[in-house]
Every structure is written in structure tokens, then in C-alpha cells.
Amino acid sequence: MGKEVKWSWTSAVVGAVAATVATAVLTAKPKDPTFHLISIKLTSFKLKLPVADVDLILTIHVTNPNITPINYSSTTMSIFYDGSLLGSGPVKAGSQPARSCQLLQIPARLDGLELTHHAAKFLADVARREMILDAEVDIAGAAKVLWWDHKFKVHVDSHVIVDPVFLDVIEQENKSQLEFFLT
């Protein structure tokens, strides 16, 4: 008739561990971080006739949805207006814990001379009280899993509509793309 099956605790433990590892691998799939511009604060206005340079502080809310902490190197964020590079801001090297949110404050400088090349559009934007800015940044770093560092790169594109008079953020769309390197 039928064979008698012997129960083995070893087989049960191995099966449970295999199921746990499979579940961990499936839920540990890297997820793109999210970025949200919270505020823009004017810190200085340097008049160099006939133009003016503007220094700002950008406060950005960053979410790391992954189950591992990350460390990232310093980089530079580029800010564009009407397709031209208007300014930049240094992003300092840092880290962020797993499944966490934090605020980054990034100093940025806008080039008044570049803005004068778009004076007619800028004045129309001020009259309309809507100015469209684009920004992009590439952030490189490593996510530590057990004792291995897994290198990654995140490319972020931001499309932001601001009130050029009060520097309020009216609307924004941020897209990030995460790329992991296995070597």
C-alpha cells in the first residue's frame, strides 16, 4: 500500500528558512526614493548692475522606502529656466536610515546674468505669478545589506511651478529612477 512518511524537524526548519528567505527577497526589491520640494527661502540678493544674483535655500523632503539604510556622496543639483541652466546647488554627502523621511536644505545660487537672457519671459512670468523651473540631479551611493555594499544611482527630474514674487511652490512633479549595480 502506501509508504510511511517520517516527520523530520530538520526538514521543517529548512523549509521555514527557505520560505522566509524567499519572502525577504521578494519584499526587499529596491524602491525609488521620493522627493518633494517643501519651500524656497531667499537668503541673499546681490545686485551687480545691470543684473542680480540670488541665493536661496531649498528645503526638500526625501523618503527612503527601502529596508536598508543608504549612504550617498556629494553632488550638484542643476536648476533650469526656459531650457537654460539658471543655477545650481551643492548636495552634501550624507546618509539616511531605512524606511525613513528627512529634510534636506540645499543652498542654491541663481545666475542673474542668465536670467537677463530671458527677461521678457521672466517679466511675463512675474506678471502671471507663475514661473516654471526644472531641476535635475544624479545621486550616487551605497545601500548596505548585511556586510555587502550595493552601489546605486538615483536620477531625479523635477518640474516645479513657483510664484516668483513670494517664492511659494504652486505645483510640482518629481520623477526618480533608481539603478542598482550588482558589482
CATH label of the domain that carries residue 164 = 2.60.40
- Does 21 fall in a domain? no
- Does 83 fall in a domain? yes
Whether the predicted pLDDT of 170 surpasses 90 = yes
Of 105, 109, 107, the residue nearest 62 (C-alpha) = 105
Higher model confidence: residue 120 or residue 143? 120
- Quote the number of domains for the chain: 1
Of 152, 139, 161, 158, the residue nearest 182 (C-alpha) = 152
Domain residue limits at 122: 33-181
- Does 58 fall in a domain? yes
- Does 15 fall in a domain? no
Distance, in Å, from the CA atom of 164 to the CA atom of 128, rounded to the nearest integer, reads 9
CA distances from 98 to 69, 119, 126 (A): 4, 45, 41
Q: Give the pLDDT score at 161.
A: 95
- Does 2 fall in a domain? no
pLDDT in tens, 49-108: 777 788 999 999 999 988 888 899 999 999 999 999 999 999 999 999 999 999 999 999
pTM for the whole structure: 0.80
